[in-house]
């Protein structure tokens, strides 16, 4: 394949030509931090989106699903608030989501039905629409195309996140053309796949046919955001939105066989994997980033199922928090994951240290294990010994701070 | 139906005529507390058992499964140790389990192949057989038929449990005959159904055909131990064993249509539900006992699936720990449980306080909600509004102490 991906250092969602952004405070966060973000394209965009599978879909999710279906090639941007999720809010919530979208369209001078909305925060509370209206006005006035404006937007969508999550990259095709991709995400708790378990907005200037934008986003999300779990809770508000304004000087991406499509999909996947890892690294209360690979499986699905079982085990996650090489809990979680396996064929590594060979304990070097567990990034590899498939998922440990953060989230 | 169940106050596993028990320290627990229990019947027993579904079955589970199949009417008892789980220990572990059973048989003068074994504790360590051998000898010498001997056995099987779990009851049939049922259980973490998520030994003096003993145990476990979850982790060692020595003066229970069978099954279910609730109440780090009922479901399976999703949600459990009526997390967990539902038909109660009606927030009285959350027992009811089936599960909250206990369990 002949393309190259170049990371843009300190990039933001406005690293893509033709996009403006802003993040302002409107009073939803008690701290007074920015809590309302706008991302707007100078021209209409091809849009693709992936939404939560939770049956209690938040009002903005319901609104966006309809909007993307109705207007997949004319979207201009998205308004996002943090602090109130507008989920489980009934018909009043649906009206508020539609009103927030309309306000954002008016304030930015965009066409009707061209703005999406996202909300994150406490479930079951109504949006204070006076604050939202003022915030949308202020954000529209603050819109900027510089990188710093994108950083402000990424900060405004944070809830319990301790830092913004943003990445951008250039994709260079070998015919000399190319395009730029950028994304920002929030997510720290209530993180579990299906889908994206978070809010994520992606911008791109490649011209892409809607069906291919959707296909590439779906595939890239499955390989990235859907491989992260923090606490096993799938949120009501998860949304990943991709806006392609087509401003790059290059041919339209309209066939899945085009090299430009493969480059687009690869760039999108790379970007989303980076955002996914950032989310795991910033999991609520996290002290460790944990990468779990299950290999030697009969299928990728089985590998993912086993890896997710380990990644969601409270006992594995507390042991890693306690720097305790309690590997029996890892095998235990594989054993109840629901896949079939032969226990006598399973091997296990913590970092470069083999702990189990063919289902039996293998020479546990406690000193080396402790050294490995003192590192900030922990790698666990389980080999099932009966196939060629593998999957990798990302998570964080389960700490006292996770409990503190979530015991008093609403109060 | 014409039978009565009478709780035996302060009963223990030796409340059933014809059973002796003991609990002694043999040095597996650092604290020096009792860690080896014996339960022995004066005469051969009909045995029934239910085992973990985890594919990494501990050596004692593998041993017992074979033994029960081979000798379902000639078992005499069980030897149980706490501190080392003898799980993920390979062929050495299997030899140790068999040796522990043989030692117990010899020390108690029972027939060969008549003693079961159970182990609980750290996964991946071999049993120290010298300590086990000495402990089995000491326990055999200490066997007693008094209630206090049963209490000692119940204490000896504890790991992170803060208190023993024991119940006993008389079942009176209307023909003037009757029998006694008793049980002890341990379990505090790594508690999640399929099966029993713990060790549980039940004694009974009713004469029961083996197939009916197994059927009644299976049904009773499904309605009790399989409705408890603490942390979503299904252990490698779960075993529930029922020993019926047939010493009661009554006719053989040999048909499922007999009233005595129904009384037997009802007694067993009552006993196991009490033990199950005790386990949830004593969940690792628990500060609250939580009972979650999902009703108005199309089937009991769907009701259980939704209730379990709420019961395993870290976010629901931390909110209750924080005394925060964050009910959105409860609906959220129902929404991702995998069942189908109409969000606009769902209602929710916390204790006697309705929080959601037909999918929308309903008059949240924060003062009353706080009062309810200050109580030690919390009741959550979700009505799905589209059927007649219901299920109730039991769990505990997720506290700082859960993390503390499990961060350093092995060290």
Answer yes or no: do A402 and B90 touch at CB < 8 A. Answer: no
| Surface-to-core class of residue B1, CB atoms within 10 Å of its CB (0-12 exposed, 13-18 middle, 19+ buried) | exposed
Helix (H, G, I), strand (E, B) or coil at B95: helix
Asked if B259 and B332 sit in the same domain, the reply is: no
Give pLDDT, residue B193: 45
The distance of A57 to chain B (nearest Cα, Å) reads 8
The span from the CA of B392 to the CA of B293, in Å, is 4
The span from the CA of A327 to the CA of A334, in Å, is 11
Confidence tier at B333 by pLDDT (50, 70, 90)? confident
Phi first, then psi, for residue A261 (nearest 5°) are -65, -45
Asked if A293 and A211 sit in the same domain, the reply is: no
Residue A163 domain boundaries = 3-281
A360 — contact with chain B (CB < 8 Å)?
A: yes
Confidence tier at A193 by pLDDT (50, 70, 90)? very low
The span from the CA of A348 to the CA of A364, in Å, is 11
Per CB-CB distance under 8 Å, the chain B contacts of A56 are 331-332, 334-335, 343, 359
Answer yes or no: do A236 and B328 touch at CB < 8 A. Answer: yes
Give pLDDT, residue A160: 79
Answer yes or no: do A312 and B232 touch at CB < 8 A. Answer: yes
Q: Which of A8, A274, A14 is nearest to A151 (CA)?
A: A14
Residues of A marked as catalytic: 197
Answer yes or no: do A409 and B324 touch at CB < 8 A. Answer: yes
What are the CA-CA distances from residue B404 to residues A333, A369, B183 (Å)?
A: 20, 20, 30
Per CB-CB distance under 8 Å, the chain A contacts of B312 are 232
Answer yes or no: do B55 and A312 touch at CB < 8 A. Answer: no
Mean pLDDT along residues A179-200: 70
Assess contact for A217 and A240: CB atoms under 8 A. yes
Give pLDDT, residue B194: 41
Per CB-CB distance under 8 Å, the chain B contacts of A406 are 314-315, 318-319, 322
Burial of A142-174, coded b for 16+ CB within 10 Å and e otherwise, reads bbebebebbbbbbbbbbbbbeebbbbbbbbbbe
The span from the CA of A383 to the CA of B25, in Å, is 39
Q: How many CA atoms lie within 13 A of A75 on its CB side?
A: 29
Mean pLDDT along residues B363-371: 85
Helix axis angle for B210-222 and B259-281, nearest 10°, is 40
Per CB-CB distance under 8 Å, the chain A contacts of B336 are 53-55, 192, 194, 233-234
Per CB-CB distance under 8 Å, the chain B contacts of A407 are 318-319, 321-322, 324
Mutate to test the interface with B, among A126, A159, A234, A329 (most CBs of B within 10 A): A329
Alpha carbon B224 to chain centroid distance? 7
Helix (H, G, I), strand (E, B) or coil at A200: strand
Asked if B250 and B296 sit in the same domain, the reply is: no
Mean pLDDT along residues A289-300: 94
pLDDT digits (tens, 9 = 90+) for B127-175: 999 999 999 999 999 999 999 999 999 999 988 788 898 999 999 998 8
Asked if A146 and A256 sit in the same domain, the reply is: yes
Per CB-CB distance under 8 Å, the chain B contacts of A191 are none
In chain A, the N- to C-terminal Cα span, in Å, equals 53
Evaluated on CA atoms A277, A278, A279, A283, the torsion sign reads: positive
Interface list for B 7-66 with A (CB within 8 A): 53-57
Confidence check: pLDDT of B403 > 90:
no
| Surface-to-core class of residue A236, CB atoms within 10 Å of its CB (0-12 exposed, 13-18 middle, 19+ buried) | buried
Confidence tier at A235 by pLDDT (50, 70, 90)? low
What are the CA-CA distances from residue A302 to residues A43, A273, B334 (Å)?
A: 43, 20, 25
Q: Centre a 10 Å sphere on the Cβ of residue B301 and count the other Cβ atoms it contains.
A: 12
Asked if B192 and B233 sit in the same domain, the reply is: yes
Answer yes or no: do B57 and A343 touch at CB < 8 A. Answer: yes
B3 — contact with chain A (CB < 8 Å)?
A: no
Q: Which of A198, A109, A120 is nearest to A156 (CA)?
A: A120
Answer yes or no: do A56 and B343 touch at CB < 8 A. Answer: yes
Asked if A106 and A36 sit in the same domain, the reply is: yes
- SS3 annotation, B118-155: EEEEECCCCCCHHHHHHHHHHHHHHCECCHHHHHHHHH
The span from the CA of A224 to the CA of A236, in Å, is 19
Residues 6+ apart with CB under 8 A from A369: A325, A350, A353, A355
In DSSP terms, A290 is beta-bridged to A378, A395
* A103 token code pair: 């306000």
A402 — contact with chain B (CB < 8 Å)?
A: yes
Answer yes or no: do B124 and A361 touch at CB < 8 A. Answer: yes
Q: Which residue on chain B is closest to A326 by alpha carbon?
A: B410
Give pLDDT, residue A234: 64
B288 — contact with chain A (CB < 8 Å)?
A: no
B385 — contact with chain A (CB < 8 Å)?
A: no
Answer yes or no: do B328 and A407 touch at CB < 8 A. Answer: no
Q: Given B312, B324, B402, which is nearest A408 (Cβ)?
A: B324
As for how many domains chain A has, the answer is: 2
Q: Which of A132, A176, A146, A145 is nearest to A28 (CA)?
A: A132
Residues 6+ apart with CB under 8 A from A28: A35, A36, A81, A82, A83, A84, A121, A128, A131, A135
The span from the CA of A235 to the CA of A194, in Å, is 9
A160 — contact with chain B (CB < 8 Å)?
A: no
Give pLDDT, residue B69: 92
Answer yes or no: do A407 and B360 touch at CB < 8 A. Answer: no
Residue A384: CATH number of its domain: 3.10.20.340
The distance of A125 to chain B (nearest Cα, Å) reads 8
Assess contact for B201 and B81: CB atoms under 8 A. no
Q: Which of B71-80, B228-237, B342-351 has the lowest mean pLDDT?
A: B228-237
- What is the C-alpha R_g of chain B? 22
* A364 token code pair: 């546990």
Q: Centre a 10 Å sphere on the Cβ of residue B257 and count the other Cβ atoms it contains.
A: 6
The span from the CA of A17 to the CA of A3, in Å, is 20
Q: Given B190, B231, B403, which is nearest A399 (Cβ)?
A: B403
The distance of A380 to chain B (nearest Cα, Å) reads 17
- The one catalytic residue in B14, B89, B197, B203 is B197
Asked if A259 and A160 sit in the same domain, the reply is: yes
Assess contact for B107 and B145: CB atoms under 8 A. no
The span from the CA of A390 to the CA of B48, in Å, is 40
Assess contact for B160 and B233: CB atoms under 8 A. no
Asked if B100 and B84 sit in the same domain, the reply is: yes
* B190 token code pair: 């790594």
Mutate to test the interface with A, among B52, B54, B55, B405 (most CBs of A within 10 A): B55
DSSP A30: T
Confidence tier at B338 by pLDDT (50, 70, 90)? confident
pTM for the predicted model, two decimal places: 0.79
In DSSP terms, A242 is beta-bridged to A48, A202
The distance of A179 to chain B (nearest Cα, Å) reads 37
* A333 token code pair: 């979680």
Residue that is last in its domain, among A254, A281, A308: A281
As a whole number, the mean pLDDT across chain B is: 89
Phi first, then psi, for residue A103 (nearest 5°) are -60, -40
Please provide the DSSP assignment of B41-72 as one string: EEEEEEEEEEE---SS--HHHHHHHHHHHH-T
Alpha carbon B57 to chain centroid distance? 17
The span from the CA of B391 to the CA of B85, in Å, is 32
Confidence check: pLDDT of A213 > 70:
yes
Residue that is last in its domain, among B281, B307, B337: B281
Q: Which residue on chain A is closest to B58 by alpha carbon?
A: A332
ipTM above 0.95, yes or no: no
Asked if A237 and A163 sit in the same domain, the reply is: yes
Answer yes or no: do B361 and A332 touch at CB < 8 A. Answer: no
Confidence check: pLDDT of B235 > 70:
no
The span from the CA of A128 to the CA of A81, in Å, is 11
Asked if A45 and A173 sit in the same domain, the reply is: yes
The distance of B369 to chain A (nearest Cα, Å) reads 13
Asked if A233 and A190 sit in the same domain, the reply is: yes
What are the CA-CA distances from residue A409 to residues A405, B18, B82, B120, B330 (Å)?
A: 6, 55, 38, 36, 14
Q: Which of A48, A27, A3, A36 is nearest to A183 (CA)?
A: A48
B329 — contact with chain A (CB < 8 Å)?
A: yes
Residues 6+ apart with CB under 8 A from B50: B195, B196, B217, B218, B221, B239, B240
Q: Which of A116, A121, A154, A187 is nearest to A23 (CA)?
A: A154
A190 — contact with chain B (CB < 8 Å)?
A: yes
Residue that is last in its domain, among A261, A281, A301: A281
Interface list for A 332-351 with B (CB within 8 A): 332-336, 340-341, 343
Per CB-CB distance under 8 Å, the chain B contacts of A123 are 326-329, 331-332
Residue A189: CATH number of its domain: 3.60.70.12
Confidence check: pLDDT of A188 > 80:
no
Give pLDDT, residue B163: 87
Assess contact for A340 and B198: CB atoms under 8 A. no
Give pLDDT, residue B157: 92
Helix (H, G, I), strand (E, B) or coil at B381: strand
pLDDT digits (tens, 9 = 90+) for A21-55: 999 999 998 889 999 999 999 999 999 988 887 77
Residue B197 is a catalytic residue: yes
Q: Which of B107, B59, B63, B64 is nearest to B85 (CA)?
A: B59
Answer yes or no: do A361 and B88 touch at CB < 8 A. Answer: yes
pLDDT digits (tens, 9 = 90+) for A99-114: 999 999 999 999 989 9
Mean pLDDT along residues A329-356: 90
Asked if A46 and A65 sit in the same domain, the reply is: yes
* B68 token code pair: 């029960």
Look-up of token digits 């390979």: B90
Mean pLDDT along residues A4-14: 93
B363 — contact with chain A (CB < 8 Å)?
A: no
Assess contact for A195 and A217: CB atoms under 8 A. no
B123 — contact with chain A (CB < 8 Å)?
A: yes
């Amino acid at each position: 394949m002949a393309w190259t991906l170049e990371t843009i250092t300190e990039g933001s969602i406005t690293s893509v030509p033709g996009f403006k952004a802003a993040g302002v405070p409107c009073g939803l966060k008690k701290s007074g931090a920015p809590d309302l973000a706008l991302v707007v394209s100078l021209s209409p965009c091809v849009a693709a989106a992936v939404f939560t599978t939770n049956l209690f879909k938040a009002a903005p999710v319901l609104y966006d699903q309809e909007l993307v279906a109705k207007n997949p090639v004319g979207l201009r941007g998205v308004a996002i608030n943090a602090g109130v999720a507008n989920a489980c809010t009934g018909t009043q919530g649906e009206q508020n989501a539609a009103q927030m979208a309309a306000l954002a369209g008016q304030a930015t001078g965009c066409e009707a039905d061209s703005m999406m909305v996202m909300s994150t925060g406490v479930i079951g509370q109504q949006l204070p629409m006076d604050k939202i209206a003022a915030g949308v006005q202020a954000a529209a006035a603050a819109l900027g195309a510089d990188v710093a404006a994108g950083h402000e937007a990424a900060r405004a969508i944070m809830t319990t996140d301790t830092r913004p999550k943003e990445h951008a990259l250039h994709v260079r095709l070998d015919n000399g053309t190319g395009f730029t991709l950028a994304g920002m995400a929030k997510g720290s708790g209530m993180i579990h796949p299906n889908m994206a378990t978070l809010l994520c907005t992606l911008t791109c200037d490649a011209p892409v046919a809607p069906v291919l934008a959707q296909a590439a986003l779906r595939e890239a999300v499955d390989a990235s955001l859907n491989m992260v779990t923090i606490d096993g809770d799938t949120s009501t508000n998860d949304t990943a939105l991709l806006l392609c304004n087509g401003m790059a000087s290059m041919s339209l991406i309209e066939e899945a066989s085009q090299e430009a499509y493969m480059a687009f999909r690869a760039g999108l996947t790379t970007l989303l994997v980076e955002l996914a890892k950032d989310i795991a690294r910033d999991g609520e209360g996290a002290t460790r980033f944990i990468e779990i690979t299950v290999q030697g499986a009969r299928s990728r699905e089985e590998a993912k199922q086993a890896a997710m079982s380990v990644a969601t085990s409270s006992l594995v996650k507390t042991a890693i928090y306690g720097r305790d090489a309690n590997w029996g809990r890892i095998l235990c979680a594989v054993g109840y994951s629901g896949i079939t396996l032969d226990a006598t064929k399973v091997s296990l590594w913590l970092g470069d240290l083999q702990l189990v060979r063919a289902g039996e304990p293998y020479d546990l070097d406690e000193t080396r294990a402790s050294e490995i567990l003192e590192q900030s990034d922990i790698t666990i590899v389980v080999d099932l010994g009966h196939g060629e498939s593998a999957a990798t998922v990302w998570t964080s440990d389960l700490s006292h701070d996770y409990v503190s953060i979530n015991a008093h989230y609403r109060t």
